[in-house]
Each structure stands twice: as C-alpha cells, then as structure tokens.
Chains A and B, each alone.
Chain A
Amino acid sequence: MITDIQIPRINANEDEVLLASVSVQLGQQVRPGDVLCSLESTKSAEDLCAASTGYVRSILGVEGDMVRVGASVITLSDAADEALPEAAPAERPVAASRLTARQRLEARRSSSLPVRPPDARPALVASAELDWVLAAREKMAAQGGTWISPEATVSPDATIDAPHVFVGAGARIAAGTHIVTEEFILGEGAVIGGEVVVDLAGGAHADSRLLVGPASLVGSRSSINTCREVLLEAESALSPGSCLFTHSFWQSILDGYHCTFEPIRVGESAWVGAGCQVLPGVTVGAGSVVISNSTLVDELPPECMAGGVPAKVMRRGIKRPLSPEQQLLRLKPLVQSMGETLKAKGCPVSFTLEVEETRVIQLSHSGQTWQFDCAKRTFTGDAEDRIAHEVRNLLRRQGIRFRPYAWDAGYRGPLSDA
C-alpha cells in the first residue's frame, strides 16, 4: 500500500509552514513512531511521524522550504519495490458535448423554444388554421373574393381597397377609415374606429393581410402597416392611436444595419393601450395588458402586464381562474346595478332581471324572455329588442361578450324610444 504524508494544519491562521528538517532518506525503512520530518509555524513546532512500517519512496521538499497545508511531503510504501501510482494527467477531460451557460441562454433566445418550459405555454395556432379565418376564407371563395355581411355597418365615408375582403355580421367600420391591403378579414362583431389608416408601406407581399378576430377592436386613429400579416385574435383590442409596423428598414444592410419584415400578432383577449408603438415581430400573449404609450419590441408572455419604452413585463399572472361560485358572487351585484341603470335610463316597461345559480341571467318583460348564459357565452331571445340590447351592452362593458355580438357605443337615446 502507498501512503501519502501531507502537511497538517498546525496553526489556524497559517496556510504555509516551515519544513524545519527532513529526518529520512529515499529508500530508508521506517518503523511506527519514527520521525519523518519537523514542521514549524509561528507559534509551534511539530514532528510528522510514521504510523506503520514502510519504505520512503519520495521526498518533495528540502529543509527551509515553506510548504502549503495539505501538500504531499513524503510517500511511503509497504514493500520496498512496490510500484508507485503514475501522476494523474494534468488536464482535466472536457466533454465535447457540453454547452456553456451562455450557449444555453442564446439557444433559448434565438430559437422558437419558449422562454418557459415547453409544456407551460401552448403553441400558437397558425392564423390560417383559426376557425374564424377558415370560415371567412370559405365564404370569400364562394362569393368570388369579397363578402360584406348585410348585418355589418360600414360608414359611407370609409374605403376598403383590397382584393379579398370579408366583413362579418355585426362588424362596424367608422367614418374616415381607409384600408389598403391584400386581404382584409373583419370578424363578427369586430369594430374598426374612425380615421384608422391601414397601409401597405414597405410593399405588398404574399403575407400582406389584416385579420381582425370576432368582437375585437381597432381604436380610432390607429395606424396599421400590413406589408406582413397583422393578426388580432378574438376579443383583443388596440386602444386609440396605436401604431403597428410590420417593417423596419432605412439604412443599407451592406453597412451592417438591421432590416426586418415580420408579422405582428395580438393574442386572444389581449389589450394594447392607447398610443402604443408595436414593432415588427412582436407577439402579445393572450390575455396580456400593455400600458399606454409603450413601445413593444419583443414577445410578451400571456396574461402579463407590460409597459415602458421598451416594454418590459411588470407583473405576471394577471388573469385568475374563478370558480363558478366566485363568478356568481361577481354577477349578483352586477345584475342588481344593471337593473338600476335600466330604470335610471327611463325603461318604459316593468321587467325582471335575475341571475340563476347556473350563471344564466334572465331578462323578461312584455311576456318575452331572454337568456344570457355567462358560462357558455351564448344569448337567446329577440336580438332586436332595445332593452335586451342594452343589457347586452352593459355586460359587454364588463368584458362579457355574447354571440351574436352587439356594439352600441354610439347609442345615446333614452330607453323610452325602444
């Protein structure tokens, strides 16, 4: 057996001690208790002794050396001719496949891998596979390229210049809005406010299109550039004065400048605040909120609040799943206050408005009934009735929208003219 004799720590404060003397020679046989060498710290002297019989095979140090605590000083072997172990290779092996932390970081940033673990965030559905896009394209194909629902409202002052146009039932386009693109789909009940400009600056492309999902909003005076696809998913909103760019170019790419043409996507129920700038390639995650006047430069995760220039995530998890009981607790006072609002507006008939345990709001008056099923988001009853329409609008103002979608922001008349 080979025994390695190491320098012990003889003073807590000293990492090096003096090798005061070496008492043995190479090859010499030693017995238990024989002094091998003597050490000195600033406070004490100590002998290192052999613990068992053996032969001195190496001596690493001479008298007067300062030796580090833990260093080998003498090697003993049981037999005089026992083979000594070879010195360990100096270089440690490097695993070829090892990625540095920076490489892992870059890989996550540059790939389409989500920043979170893959299972935490569902993959986005391509725009061409969304139900409402599929249905709109089918209708356009059947109608030879353009379909504007008779139940849609397009201001006579608005213009749409596109080879493929679909405007769904209940959709509205307000005055002074001008739309130039290759394909324009405005889903059911979606609204484009006044003086909105949709353009093709940056040049038309096979992917130039504006797809506005059901019950979504493009606020007035917004500006949307569609040299690539702009997709606003169902029930999403751009507040007034938003500015969306699908291109950014000016200086020469041969001088090393960046030039980008990228689509923009605003997820379902996401809300981009007034005056925001949205740069090419941005995805706003479903259910997120961006505070006004922010500049969006990067992907935002779902259900977060973000803001600033450039926009950063400020809070996560802003959407909370509520149990049916918790939802009912929120609906009850809402239904009561809606009843009071209807009366204040001069509702001409006596009515009942109640919410059931199943989260269905029942409205009845003049022998008729209407149901607003808040669990299934469906509405049954005569959609033309002025009072039912008003209830639907009051619910919409709490973010609870029903198909068929109602949008009556312009109606200011009293209920007596129902």
Chain B
Amino acid sequence: MRVLEQLNQSLHAVMAERSDVLFIGEDVLDPYGGAFKVSKGLSTAFPDQVITTPISEASIVGLGTGLALQGYRPVVEIMFGDFITLIADQLVNQAAKMTWMYNRELAVPIVVRTPMGGRRGYGPTHSQTLEKHFLGVPGLTVLAASQALDAGALLRIAIEEIDTPVLFVENKLLYARQAIEPGELDMRKSDAQVPTLTIGGGRPDFSIITYGDNLSLVLEAVAYLHEEEELNGEILMVHQVSPIDFEPLRVSVMTTRRVVVVEEGIEAHGWGAEVIAGLSDISLEAPPERVGARSLPIPAARGLEEQVLPQKQDVIDAVIRTVDRYHV
C-alpha cells in the first residue's frame, strides 16, 4: 500500500469512529480531494466533519485551535509546507502555550498536517523543508511520516493520543511510495509512544540518523556501501523529530562510534546539529557528519535542484569520511 493510501484510509477510519475529529483545509472537498489527495472521499463520507476554507493559513490554524479548546480533535491541512511560516504565530505563540499558561487544565489536541520537501522541480517556494523552524518549541510536538512505520497509524497517534499541538510532516515524495512491509527489512522498534526504528542486521560499522523520505536515498546509500565498500550500516528512523528521544540513538552510536545525520532541510543550524549535540558525550572514532541542503533557495530547474538538495552520493561520501578521517 502506498503511504498516501495509508494516510487517507486512516483518516476515513478515525472519522468514522469519532465525530469529534474534523478535517479542515483549502480545496479539500471532493471531487478534488486536496492538492495531494490525502482528503479524497472524506467530504463525501463525512460531510459534517470536513470544512473547506478560504486561503488564510493563519485563520485555519486559529479556527482549529479554537475547536480543539471546544473539545474537538481537528486535523488541519496546510496545502504546502512552505506556507507554515504563516501559521507560526497561531502555533508557537497560541496553541503550544495554552496548556502551560492555563495550568494544564486545557487540552489543545490539534494536528497540523503538511507536505514538505523538494525533488519535484516546484521551485523555491513550494519545495522547502521548513519544520526546522518549529523544532524545540515547548509544547509543540513535530512528527514526520516515513515508509518504515505505518503513516496512518502514526497519524492516529497524533490525532487521538497527543493532547497538545502536533505538526505532522509528510514529505511529498512519500505519497507515491510503497510502505515497507513488515519483514522486508530487519527493523527493531523503540518502546516510545512514537517509536524510533532501527533498520539493519549484523554488527554495524556506522549509524545514520534521519527521518521522513530521506530513508529512500539512505537505503540506496547503505546498499551501495555494503556492496562496494563492505561496510554495514544501521539506520535510525526518527519519527518524533522534536523533542528528540535520544535513547535509541545512543544505543546504536555507542556501538558504531561513527555517525552521519541526514536531513533534507538546510544543513546550517539544522536538526542534525541538535542530534549531534545530544550525542556529544559519546567518544566517536571520527568527527560526526551532517548531510543536508545547501544554504540556497531551491531552484526550479531539476538539475540545479539536485545540486542544492542532499543526494545519495553525499550520504556515501559522509559515511566514508567517518571511516577515513580522524579526530585532530
């Protein structure tokens, strides 16, 4: 099943079970069913639970926050992740603070879903990976879907089990990807509510820490390193991007002592730096490596876009540097 279907079917299931789950967004009604078709069929099946809105991301999230305070569990869709700068005030200054400001008597169970990421030639304002600006906000949980964990199940955790605001990130390339079937890869789950997956058997030589759709290029890089360089890698697939659960990461890095962090957002001041800081008490064999986008707007031309966004070869080169480089 594709990740798009996992998300869509999960929404159908949860909205059928609970009338307090509302779906809010732009162009989400049938027959269009949303820009990426995640809401396909919802307005037909649950006409009273789907609200189509004018183009104002700030007011959509404000509406969702108000409904969450009224006891609903709204799911808000922001059509492109690039537009989340417009919801920063509602999410950071309002929704994320309320539980704390009102003595934990209020729950604000709003989920803001949004597609992120490039590699489609959509240009500088429809290709970005902007969740980095929402990391480390007290009271705000940032989750990221992947092929490795049932994206629909992850969305259900966000909707039903987390009583504080959640930013739910879906890399837009994920929609068309097939979910990885159980048993297809050697995977172990951490026991956190939002688990981190450890992928890879045998005694690993290096750890790659990543999230979202970076998995596809990381899997290719790990396969290449196994075949051509005889190195075994362990991939740590984080699903809760912020706050970070370091325990499963530590378990792997304490074994391998070589670590590469991969993100699609701009590398400078990024998530990878925070991950490495959290592991900095572990003595590594070589300096940790970061792979991310260059500090440039994303070009629309595909060939140029490839030069800005991280590629499989960047991951391979980073891993090899952890083998050949030393601490000074």
Return the contact of A115 from the options B281, B302, B326 (Cβ within 8 A).
Answer: B326
Return the contact of A101 from the options B281, B283, B320 (Cβ within 8 A).
Answer: B320
Complex alpha-carbon distance, A262 and B121, angstroms: 62
Complex alpha-carbon distance, A12 and B127, angstroms: 12
- Assess the B120–A12 pair: CB atoms within 8 A: yes
- B320 contacts which chain A residues (CB < 8 A)? 101
Complex alpha-carbon distance, A13 and B176, angstroms: 11
Please give me the residue from chain A that is nearest to B123 by CB atom: A12
Please give me the residue from chain A that is nearest to B326 by CB atom: A116
Complex alpha-carbon distance, A115 and B283, angstroms: 14
- Assess the B302–A9 pair: CB atoms within 8 A: yes
Complex alpha-carbon distance, A105 and B326, angstroms: 12
Q: In the complex, which range does the number of interface residues on chain B fall in?
A: 20 to 34
- Assess the A9–B326 pair: CB atoms within 8 A: no
Q: Which of B262-295 contact A (CB under 8 A)?
A: 281, 283, 285
- A376 contacts which chain B residues (CB < 8 A)? none
- Assess the B327–A101 pair: CB atoms within 8 A: no
Please give me the residue from chain B that is nearest to A114 by CB atom: B326
- Assess the A312–B120 pair: CB atoms within 8 A: no
Please give me the residue from chain A that is nearest to B328 by CB atom: A120
Please give me the residue from chain A that is nearest to B286 by CB atom: A115
Interface assignment of A313: CB less than 8 Å from any CB of chain B: yes
Return the contact of B326 from the options A104, A117, A314, A315 (Cβ within 8 A).
Answer: A117
Interface assignment of A102: CB less than 8 Å from any CB of chain B: yes
Q: Which of B153-183 contact A (CB under 8 A)?
A: none
- A13 contacts which chain B residues (CB < 8 A)? 120
Interface assignment of B27: CB less than 8 Å from any CB of chain A: no
- Assess the A312–B283 pair: CB atoms within 8 A: yes
**Known pairs A12-B122, A105-B323, A314-B283; A100 contacts B302 (CB<8 A):** no
Please give me the residue from chain A that is nearest to B230 by CB atom: A102
Complex alpha-carbon distance, A193 and B22, angstroms: 77
**Known pairs A9-B121, A12-B120, A12-B302; A100 contacts B326 (CB<8 A):** no
- Assess the A100–B228 pair: CB atoms within 8 A: yes
Main secondary structure of the interface of A (DSSP, over half): mixed
Interface assignment of A343: CB less than 8 Å from any CB of chain B: no
Contact flags (1/0) for A200-244 with B, using CB distance below 8 Å?
Answer: 000000000000000000000000000000000000000000000
Return the contact of B230 from the options A103, A313, A315 (Cβ within 8 A).
Answer: A103
**Known pairs A9-B302, A12-B120, A100-B228; A316 contacts B283 (CB<8 A):** yes
Contact flags (1/0) for A280-318 with B, using CB distance below 8 Å?
Answer: 000000000000000000000000000000001111100
Contact flags (1/0) for A315-350 with B, using CB distance below 8 Å?
Answer: 110000000000000000000000000000000000
**Known pairs A101-B225, A314-B283, A315-B283; A12 contacts B121 (CB<8 A):** yes
Complex alpha-carbon distance, A218 and B324, angstroms: 39
- Assess the A116–B327 pair: CB atoms within 8 A: yes
- Assess the A104–B283 pair: CB atoms within 8 A: no
- B302 contacts which chain A residues (CB < 8 A)? 9, 12
Q: In the complex, which range does the number of interface residues on chain A fall in?
A: 10 to 19
Q: Which of B88-142 contact A (CB under 8 A)?
A: 120-122
Closest chain B CB from A69 CB (angstroms): 9
Interface assignment of B205: CB less than 8 Å from any CB of chain A: yes
Closest chain A CB from B284 CB (angstroms): 9
Q: Which of B220-254 contact A (CB under 8 A)?
A: 225, 228-231
- A115 contacts which chain B residues (CB < 8 A)? 285, 326
**Known pairs A116-B326, A312-B283; A101 contacts B120 (CB<8 A):** no
Complex alpha-carbon distance, A104 and B120, angstroms: 38
- B285 contacts which chain A residues (CB < 8 A)? 115
**Known pairs A100-B228, A100-B230, A315-B283; A105 contacts B121 (CB<8 A):** no
Most B Cβ at <10 Å: residue of A101, A120, A313, A315: A101
- Assess the A101–B324 pair: CB atoms within 8 A: yes
Q: Which of B308-328 contact A (CB under 8 A)?
A: 319-320, 323-324, 326-327
Complex alpha-carbon distance, A11 and B228, angstroms: 35
Complex alpha-carbon distance, A235 and B324, angstroms: 35
- B228 contacts which chain A residues (CB < 8 A)? 100
Complex alpha-carbon distance, A316 and B284, angstroms: 11
Q: Which of A95-151 contact B (CB under 8 A)?
A: 100-105, 115-117, 120
Please give me the residue from chain B that is nearest to A304 by CB atom: B283
Closest chain A CB from B168 CB (angstroms): 23
**Known pairs A13-B120, A115-B326, A316-B327; A102 contacts B283 (CB<8 A):** no
- A9 contacts which chain B residues (CB < 8 A)? 121, 302
Complex alpha-carbon distance, A115 and B231, angstroms: 18
- A316 contacts which chain B residues (CB < 8 A)? 283, 327
Complex alpha-carbon distance, A95 and B281, angstroms: 40
Complex alpha-carbon distance, A13 and B230, angstroms: 36
Complex alpha-carbon distance, A348 and B319, angstroms: 69
**Known pairs A9-B302, A12-B120, A312-B283; A102 contacts B326 (CB<8 A):** no
Given contacts A13-B120, A100-B230, list 6 more A-B pairs with CB under 8 A.
A12-B302, A101-B225, A102-B229, A104-B323, A313-B283, A315-B283
Q: Which 10 A-B pairs have the closest CB atoms?
A: A102-B230, A12-B121, A101-B229, A313-B283, A101-B323, A100-B229, A100-B230, A116-B326, A101-B231, A102-B231
Q: Can you list 10 A-B pairs with a CB-CB distance of less than 8 A?
A: A12-B121, A13-B120, A100-B230, A102-B229, A104-B324, A105-B205, A116-B326, A314-B283, A316-B283, A316-B327
